[in-house]
Amino acid sequence: MTKDEDLQMDKTLDTAAAEGAVYFIFGATGDLARRKLFPALYSLYREGKLGDRFAIVGLARRPRTDEQFRDDVHESIREFCRYKPAEGGEWAAFAERFSYHPLDISNVDGMRQLSETTQELERRYEIPGNRLFYLALAPDLFGTVSRTLRDGGMLNSPGWHRLVIEKPFGYDYPSAERLNEEIRQVFREEEVFRIDHYLGKEMVQNIEMIRFANAFFEPLWNAGHIANVQITLAETVGVEERGAYYNKSGALRDMVQNHMLQMLTMIAMEPPSRLDPEDIRDEKVKVLRSIRTFSSPEEVRARVIRGQYAEGSSKGKPLPGYRQEESVPADSATETFFAARMFVDNFRWAGVPFYVRTGKRLPVKSTEIVVEFKNAPRNVLFARKQELQPNLLVIRVNPMEGIYIKINAKRPGNEMTIQPVVMEYCQSCLVGINTPEAYERLIFDAGRGDSTYFTRWDELAAAWQLVDPIAAAWRNNESELHFYPAGTWGPEQADALLREDGFRWWPVNGEEEDNVVWVTNSKPQ
């Protein structure tokens, strides 16, 4: 970045804070607001990223006074925020910016009243009419709320208007398209910020830096040198009380259609010619459209494994199976595990398998991306019958953040024997785990109008078109549901998927083999 661009970037940050906006949280009494949004807003405030000219209005149907609402916000921050609530006057200064407006989102008159109170807030805090509407609501309300915002005069202020929407965006391509049509009757595409919180994660954003700022990766970033890519998003939690939502969604819609495919596109996209949001998203959508489709039930059977956790245990503690969870029907066929072999059929990636897997009730909580390089020619070492391990680049996304590379060195001594060595940059060990949460980055970006890490409609459409045939094959029972004991790495068939190609899943969470020497700024956990 040139000095001018650097200054420009600082200016953009300053402008976002100085410009000011009213943030409307629809669904302010809900789980997402409590666990993620209020804490994110408080962290932004503590870091000066909201500036002085802001107000936050919570909206939902149930009655609350401003005072009760501020108490709820305080409680949420105390429990979930990386900053603890300040004491006394400092807290009061933040809390007074919060107000609560009871409202059923279909009520246009209620929206007109909101419009009046908003103008008062804008006068009081000198906010120039910028309004950000965060919909922490069930998606079937998105269309209605867009219309009542318009009809209730909420979009008549002089500044910008932005709509931030949560996933899931639709259930399949046709429903997503309908939803998009409804929203687009009111908002322009550039005003719509569709959240995929994985795009707000530090290490997912870091993929661009790792790829495009390192001379020794970019020349090798292609089918000539990369043997395969593995993306694992493992969770230890089960479905718990979210069965009503999850049982309709399953891992395919909950994780693959969005987070997994977004990570894949960041790994596979071409370098954009400029770091403009649209240039980056153009490259991502090209990847999504290049992913080989699952064009028949046979293809789904051959390349996709679905699983569901059965009874099992973790650390000696017994765990129920998915069908035994209270919020789930006893005969559910919903998948809690997904693994697939995908291909990006373009010039760069011809023939390189991308293995993706995600599941609930796996042994560890860990999201990692492993890039496995092709082996060097074996010549001398082969003659000595030594096993040459492939070089790996591992991007640790969550919960530990960092990267490591695995290389082959010579074991100290007289013999020419190989010593695999891992060299790790453990970012979490360096900066602590107190880094900005995905929601902080994303709310901040939406506030300054930077849509780079939000999903554009054409990306979303391409992602649905890719996963819909998988869902259809499953619906028609054209592929088997494999059961795996809770607390294990999913069905054996997911391992076989790689074995068929001569590969294996690399261990995640720093659980490398014993003979590997780790060089790190801290021991992996």
Q: Judge whether 31 is annotated as a binding position.
A: yes
Binding status of residue 325 toward ligand LXAUTJHC by CB under 6 A: no
CB 139 within 8 A of CB 249: no
Number of C-beta neighbours around residue 375 at 10 A: 14
Binding status of residue 138 toward ligand NDP by CB under 6 A: yes
The burial of 26, by beta-carbon neighbours within 10 Å (0-12 exposed, 13-18 middle, 19 or more buried), is given as buried
Q: Judge whether 413 is annotated as a binding position.
A: no
Binding status of residue 398 toward ligand LXAUTJHC by CB under 6 A: yes
* Contact set for ligand NDP, span 51-70 (CB under 6 A): 60-62
Distance CA 357, CA 496 (A): 13
Q: Which of ligand LXAUTJHC, ligand NDP, none does residue 235 bind (CB under 5 to 8 Å by kind)?
A: ligand LXAUTJHC
Binding status of residue 108 toward ligand NDP by CB under 6 A: no
* Contact set for ligand LXAUTJHC, span 248-267 (CB under 6 A): 254
Distance CA 35, CA 347 (A): 43
Distance CA 26, CA 147 (A): 14
Size of the site for ligand NDP (CB under 6 A): 21
Q: Judge whether 238 is annotated as a binding position.
A: no
Binding status of residue 122 toward ligand LXAUTJHC by CB under 6 A: no
Q: Judge whether 167 is annotated as a binding position.
A: yes
Q: Which of ligand LXAUTJHC, ligand NDP, none does residue 32 bind (CB under 5 to 8 Å by kind)?
A: ligand NDP
Distance CA 361, CA 330 (A): 18
Please select the residue that binds ligand LXAUTJHC; options are 19, 122, 191, 235, rule is CB under 6 A: 235
Q: Judge whether 341 is annotated as a binding position.
A: no
Least distance from ligand NDP to the Cβ atom of residue 145, Å? 8
Select from 202, 188, 259, 246 the least CA-distant residue to 401.
202
259 included as an active-site residue: yes
Least distance from ligand LXAUTJHC to the Cβ atom of residue 115, Å? 33
CB 479 within 8 A of CB 306: yes
Q: Judge whether 270 is annotated as a binding position.
A: no
* Contact set for ligand LXAUTJHC, span 353-392 (CB under 6 A): 367
Q: Which of ligand LXAUTJHC, ligand NDP, none does residue 104 bind (CB under 5 to 8 Å by kind)?
A: ligand NDP
DSSP 106-172: T-HHHHHHHHHHHHHHHHHTT--S-EEEEE-S-GGGHHHHHHHHHHTTTT-SSS-EEEEEPSP--SS
Phi and psi at residue 2, in whole multiples of 5°?
-75, 170
The burial of 175, by beta-carbon neighbours within 10 Å (0-12 exposed, 13-18 middle, 19 or more buried), is given as middle
Distance CA 473, CA 275 (A): 39
Q: Judge whether 32 is annotated as a binding position.
A: yes
The residue type found at 209 is M
Q: Judge whether 105 is annotated as a binding position.
A: yes
Phi and psi at residue 303, in whole multiples of 5°?
-120, -5
Please select the residue that binds ligand NDP; options are 49, 53, 162, 167, rule is CB under 6 A: 167
Query: Which of the residues 74, 101, 225, 259 is marked catalytic?
Result: 259
Select from 42, 176, 113, 98 the least CA-distant residue to 456.
176
Select from 500, 482, 480 the least CA-distant residue to 300.
480
Helix ranges (H only) for 308-456 are 379-383, 427-431, 438-447
* DSSP state letter for 415: S
Which parts are annotated binding residues?
27-34, 61, 104-105, 167, 197, 201, 235, 254, 360, 365
Q: Catalytic residues, which ones?
A: 259
Which parts are annotated binding residues for substrate?
197, 201, 235, 254, 360, 365
Residues in contact with ligand NDP by CB under 6 A are: 27-32, 35, 60-62, 103-105, 136-139, 141, 166-168
Which parts are annotated binding residues for NADP(+)?
27-34, 61, 104-105, 167
Residues in contact with ligand LXAUTJHC by CB under 6 A are: 235, 254, 367, 398
